[in-house]
Amino acid sequence: SQAHHQLHVIFFPFMAQGHLIPSIDMAKLFASKGSKVTILTTSYFTPFLSKKIENSAQIDIFNIRVPAAEVGLPEGIDSAHAVGTPEMMEKFFKACGKLGPQLDQILERHRPVCLVADMFFPWATDVAAKFGIPTLLFPGTCYFALCGSRSVFLHEPHKKVSSDLEPFILPNFPDQVEFTASRVPHFMRHDDSTELTKLFKAMTEVEFKSYGVLVNSFYELEPAYADHYRKVLGRKAWNIGPLFLYNKGSNSDEHECLKWLDSKKPNSVVYVSFGSMANFDDEQLKEIATGLEASGQQFVWVVKKEKKEGVKEEWLPEGFEERIKGKGLIIRGWAPQVPILEHEAVGGFVTHCGWNSTQESVCAGVPMVTWPIAAEQFFNEKLVTQILRVGVEVGAKKWKRLVGDFVKRDAIDRAVSRVMEGEEAEEMRSRVKRLAEMARSAVKEGGSSVLDLNALFDDLKSAHYSSYENLH
Ligand code: UDP
């Protein structure tokens, strides 16, 4: 019967917004192709997730529990956002590594046709293999960063220079791209025995064991890197992004900042936000405030700090909020990022280069000021500034998880002005607008991402039917 042949796919994203958001888009996409989908997540994300899936009959949520106390974290910590320090982050990854038994039970009970597991859970491939279930890996980043991190990890160019800031060229890489040891994440350095170093090693190995890799990017954005990853590095991969473009228009609550933007001229506001993880200290926040004010540009700035009535906020310069009235808007907490970037008043984006933010900016046709902090963000910066030439660097040079490299007000002022005004800004804007059009074509009937997705589904169906026939 039909029901027998409905594909059931289980998604197992890492517990952070930057991984969950594209996974929800992917789950909806799979559901739109007739699959039944289950998303595994923790209670921290359940309300957010329920809202996003809007009672879809084809999508279920299944709660898992991170064994935080077993690794010495406070009981109940079940998201990367609840983690305040790099040390806690190590422990959080360690706790995630203990989710195997829960996954085992779920897979045994549900026997999905495949598991889409976050690349941060490389061990999940072995768990699924026990039941003959193929695993698709979701790395949450672009081909460029995948190739870049493999280049560094496999060839260790950072060990052949005499200082952390001495440039080297990324080896076995399609373009001549300069990088420095200071930008290399510590877990790619082979020189420590942290949880993440072991994890990263496992991540580079599991690419060969799994069924393949799902990349949230589109071919036309980075053709040399899509080809390099598949043909030279020999990984099996499908580019099926930009995922968020498949699901636009849903959940669009009118946020007050969108009304504020309505009153502004096209390309006259810079949007400043550093994703869901970054955690700048007061000194850096104050420097950003001063730099933005000095630039003279209008801005929307997302600050992940709650306002406490009657308490003086150290990071806010004296009289700042008064002075910027009408000109700048501070959003506390969660901002509707995609609608903001797509608003015609927004002409630039100061970003930490998280892959989702970067791709959202490209799709909205908005040039960037790149301010990478951690993870693979320094690679994404190079893609934006050197390969695509749709952004300028603010000048952050050091990989530093959660807190970033300190950037001074003058550098902020200069980079913001460069991206908002003048000929260079216009050139970047027209280049990024062409990329935005290519992104839209990629997810249309006959587009590169749609073709890759169809090919993946054909593969999955034939794998499913052959195992179905074996069973009966
Ligand atoms: N985001 C948002 N509002 C916020 C902060 C983040 O909508 O206030 C979304 C953003 O649009 C993106 C995701 O959260 O889709 C962040 O992912 P990214 O890869 O850019 O960075 P991360 O948070 O993983 O560092």
Bridge partner residues of 40 (DSSP): 62
List, in sequence order, every residue forming a beta bridge with 137; answer none if it has no partner.
117, 213
CA 79 to mean position of chain CA atoms = 15
Task: List pLDDT tens digits, range 214-234.
Answer: 999 999 999 999 999 999 999
Please tell me the distance from the alpha carbon of residue 403 to that of residue 59, in angstroms, as a whole number. Answer: 36
Tens-place pLDDT, residues 170-179:
999 999 999 9
Does residue 38 surpass a pLDDT of 90? yes
* Closest ligand 1 atom to Cα of 375: 25
- What's the CA gap between 85 and 332, in Å, rounded? 21
Question: Which one has a higher pLDDT value, 261 or 253?
Answer: 261
Q: Do residues 202 and 123 make contact, with C-beta atoms less than 8 angstroms apart?
A: yes
pLDDT category, 472, cuts 50, 70, 90? very low
**How far is 275 from 282, CA to CA, in rounded Å?**
17
Instruction: Answer yes or no: is pLDDT of 341 > 50.
Output: yes
Catalytic positions are 19, 118
Q: For ligand 1, atom 3, name the residue with the nearest CA.
A: 335
% of the chain at pLDDT higher than 90: 87
Residue 470 has pLDDT above 60, yes or no: no
Structure tokens at 365: 């046709």
* Residue 53 pLDDT: 92
CA distance 152 to 188: 7
Instruction: Identify the pLDDT of residue 4.
Output: 56
Residue 360: pLDDT over 80? yes
In which residue are the tokens 């991969």 written?
A: 237
Mutate to test the pocket of ligand 1, among 276, 341, 376 (most ligand atoms within 8 A of CB): 276
351 Cα to the center of ligand 1, angstroms: 10
The model's pLDDT over 389-404, given as tens digits with 9 standing for 90+, comes to: 999 999 999 998 888 8
Segment 176-193 mean pLDDT: 89
Phi, psi values for residue 326, rounded to 5°:
85, -20
Residue 18 Cα, ligand 1 centroid: separation in angstroms? 5
Q: Which of residues 254 and 396 earns the better pLDDT score? A: 396
Segment 353-363 mean pLDDT: 98
Average pLDDT estimate for 52-78 = 94
Give the residue, out of 14, 17, 400, 402, with the most ligand 1 atoms within 8 A of its beta carbon, to mutate for a pocket test.
17
Instruction: For residue 465, name the pLDDT band (cuts at 50, 70, 90).
Output: low
pLDDT > 90? residue 250 = no
Yes or no: say if 305 and 334 are a contact pair by the CB < 8 Å rule: no
Alpha-carbon distances of 108 from 98, 176, 318, 424, rounded to whole Å:
17, 47, 59, 57
What average pLDDT is seen over the chain? 94
- Kindly state the average pLDDT of the residues 82-104: 94
Q: Which atom of ligand 1 is nearest to the CA of 276?
A: 23
pLDDT tens for each residue of 281-329 = 999 999 999 999 999 999 999 999 888 888 889 999 999 999 999 999 9
Q: What is the pLDDT of residue 454?
A: 96
pLDDT at 2 over 50: no
Please give the pLDDT value at position 344: 98
Ligand 1 pocket: which of 357, 358, 362, 401 to mutate (most atoms <8 Å of CB)?
Answer: 357
Complex confidence, ipTM: 1.00
- CB-defined site of ligand 1, < 6 Å: 16-18, 21, 273, 275-277, 302, 334-335, 337-338, 354-357, 360
Q: How confident is the model at residue 193 (pLDDT cuts 50, 70, 90)?
A: confident
Rounded mean pLDDT, 163-168: 96
Q: Which residues contact 20 (CB under 8 A, 6 or more apart)?
A: 13, 14, 41, 45, 48, 49
83-92, 107-116, 322-331, 391-400: which has the minimum mean pLDDT? 83-92
